[in-house]
Amino acid sequence: MANPKITFIGAGSSVFMKNIVGDILQRPALAGAQIRLMDINPTRLEESAIIAKKLVATLGVPATVETFSNQRQALDGTNFVVVCFQIGGYEPSTVIDFDVPKKYNLRQTIADTLGVGGIMRGLRTVPHLWSICEDMLQVAPDAIMLQYVNPMAINTWAISEKYPTIKQVGLCHSVQGTAMELAHDLDIPYEEIRYRSAGINHMAFYLKFEHRQPDGSYKDLYPELHRAYREGRAPKPGWNPRCPNKVRYEMMTRLGYFVTESSEHFAEYTPYFIKEGREDIIEKFGIPLDEYPKRCVEQIAKWKQTSEDYKKADRIEVKQSKEYASSIVNSVWTGEPSVIYGNLRNNGVITSLPYNAAVEVPCLVDDNGLQPTYIGELPPQLTALIRTNINVQELTVRALIEENREHIYHAAMMDPHTAAELDLDQIWNLVDDLLESHGTMLPEWARGPRKQRVA
C-alpha cells in the first residue's frame, strides 16, 4: 500500500519528534513513511533532521526525511499533521508567565494549562494553530491533526469552534502515564491493569481502575489505593524528587476518584493548596512552586549535551514511547483498530459537561478515523470541579473567537487559584501587566491599554 505522509509542525522539539518518529517507523505498515519536518528555527530543524535520518538508518527502513521552512509547503498533500510547538518558548514567554504574577504574590507550579499562565499561553498559541488549520483546508483538507500543544483543552476547543471541519485530536500521555504510576505504587504489572477514564485534559478521572485476576475477573483497586495512602506506602518516589504526588492522593480521599494529571499540575487547578501565608500546606503536600521553569532550565542544559551526542553517534537507540500518535496513524492507515484517550469536542459524549467543551475520553480508532465512546453523566462532585476549569477555558476561547479583550479578564476572574489569592483590582491589573509584557507575542486585538470601565 501507499506510504503515509506525516508532517511535524514544530519539529525543532527534537526529543519529542524523535520519540514519535521512532514509534512510527517501528510499525511495519509505516516503515516507508514520508517524514516532513517543519520549524522556524533553522538550527533546531537541522538538528531534528539529523536525528530523524539516523533513526531511519538505525532501523533500516525505507522512510524518507524532508525539511521545510514554509508551513504550507510542508502540509501540501500530507495525511497526518503532528503539532508540537511552544510559542514564545521558555524565554521570554514562560519567564513572563511566572515572574509577573509573582509581583502580586500569585505563585504557580506549571502554568501551561489553566490560571493566568494558561490563559496567556492560549492567547499566544491558538492563532498559530488556526494558521495551520487554514493551510490544511487549502492543501490537506482530509489530513488529521494530532495536536500535542498546551493548553490542550483551550486549543482543541478553539479549533473546533473556528474550523469545525478540521479532523483533529488533542493528545496527552497523562492517562496512561498515571496508570503506570499507580500500578507501580501498588506493585502490580501495568499489563494487568484495566481502567476507564473521562473528563477534560489534565482533569480526567479514573471511573474504573481494576486488576485482572487469574480467573479472568477484575478486582476494584480503589480500596487498595486508599489503604496504601493511609498506611504511607503510596505514593512511592517518582522520577522527580521535587514532586512527591501527594495532592492527587489527598484529592482521591475527598472525591473518591483519582485524577489523571500530576499533583504539581492539580495543585494550581484548585483553590486548596497554594495559599499565601499557608506554607504548612505547601510543605505537607510537597507542592513544587516554580516547577516548570526549573524543568525548562534543566532540559535546555541537557539538550545541549544530548544534541552533540546525537550528532556524533552513528546509530540512535530507539525505544517505544507511551505516546498515542503512532497507534492513531497505524489504525487510520491500515484499519487495524486501537483504543486511545483523546481530546475532542464533547458533542454529548459526557452528558454532564457542556456540549461544545473539549473533553478527554476513550476513542476507538480505525480507518473511519477517531470515534469517541459514550460516557454519560460523571459523578456530580467531579462534574462540579471540572466545570470550574471549563469556565476559564470557555471564556479564553470566547476572547479569541470574538477578539474580545474583556473576556481575558473574565477568564482570570473565574480561575479557581487566581480568585482564591487576589481581589478584583489585583486580577485586572495583573492581566494588564501580562498583556503588556507579552506584547507582540499576542494577537493585535489583545495588546494596548485597557479601556476604562464605566462605573
pLDDT at 221: 98
> How far apart (Å, rounded) are the C-alpha atoms in residues 335 and 326?
13
Phi, psi for 47 (deg, rounded to 5) = -60, -45
- In tens digits, what is the pLDDT along the chain, a chain of 455 residues? 699 999 999 998 888 999 999 999 999 999 999 999 999 999 999 999 999 999 999 999 999 999 999 999 999 999 999 999 999 999 999 999 999 999 999 999 999 999 999 999 999 999 999 999 999 999 999 999 999 999 999 999 999 999 999 999 999 999 999 999 999 999 999 999 999 999 999 999 999 999 999 999 999 999 999 999 999 999 999 999 999 999 999 999 999 999 999 999 999 999 999 999 999 999 999 999 999 999 999 998 888 888 888 878 888 888 889 999 999 999 999 999 999 999 999 999 999 999 999 999 999 999 999 999 999 999 999 999 999 999 999 999 999 999 999 999 999 999 999 999 999 999 999 999 999 999 999 999 999 777 766 55
pLDDT at 454: 52
Beta-carbon contacts of residue 308 (< 8 Å; ≥ 6 apart): none
Residue 231: CATH number of its domain: 3.90.1820.10
**C-alpha cell of residue 353:** 459537561
Reduced to 3 states (helix: H, G, I; strand: E, B; else coil), residue 112 is coil
- Residue 173 among the catalytic residues: yes
> How far apart (Å, rounded) are the C-alpha atoms in residues 170 and 146?
6
pLDDT at 39: 97
Among 100, 102, 107, smallest CA distance to 288 is for 107
> How far apart (Å, rounded) are the C-alpha atoms in residues 366 and 340?
11
pLDDT at 290: 98
Kindly state whether residues 188 and 249 are assigned to the same domain: yes
| Under 8 Å between Cβ of 247 and 287 | yes
Kindly state whether residues 160 and 124 are assigned to the same domain: yes
Q: Which of 128, 173, 211, 226 is catalytic?
A: 173
Instruction: Say whether 211 counts as a known binding-site residue.
Output: no
Provide the domain count of the chain. 2
Please give the model's pTM, rounded to 2 decimal places.
Answer: 0.96
**How many contiguous H segments (helices) and E segments (strands) does the chain have?**
17, 12
Residue 82: CATH number of its domain: 3.40.50.720
Q: Is the bond preceding residue 92 a cis peptide, omega within 30 degrees?
A: yes
**C-alpha cell of residue 68:** 521545510
381 CB neighbour count, 10 Å cutoff: 13
Domain assignment of residue 455, yes or no = no
Domain assignment of residue 448, yes or no = no
Kindly state whether residues 327 and 418 are assigned to the same domain: no
Last residue of a domain, one of 286, 308, 337: 337
Kindly state whether residues 115 and 104 are assigned to the same domain: no
> How far apart (Å, rounded) are the C-alpha atoms in residues 51 and 307?
9
pLDDT at 453: 60
Kindly state whether residues 75 and 181 are assigned to the same domain: no
Task: Summarize pLDDT for 64-110 with one digit per residue, the tens.
Answer: 999 999 999 999 999 999 999 999 999 999 999 999 999 999 999 99
Domain assignment of residue 250, yes or no = yes
305 CB neighbour count, 10 Å cutoff: 9
Kindly state whether residues 147 and 13 are assigned to the same domain: yes
Domain assignment of residue 449, yes or no = no
Domain assignment of residue 453, yes or no = no
> How far apart (Å, rounded) are the C-alpha atoms in residues 106 and 97?
11
Kindly state whether residues 201 and 311 are assigned to the same domain: yes
> Which structural domain range is residue 295 located in?
91-108+173-318+338-442
Reduced to 3 states (helix: H, G, I; strand: E, B; else coil), residue 348 is coil
Instruction: Say whether 243 counts as a known binding-site residue.
Output: no
pLDDT at 449: 77
Domain assignment of residue 364, yes or no = yes
Instruction: Say whether 296 counts as a known binding-site residue.
Output: no
Last residue of a domain, one of 337, 369, 384: 337
Cα Dmax for the chain = 70
Kindly state whether residues 258 and 379 are assigned to the same domain: yes
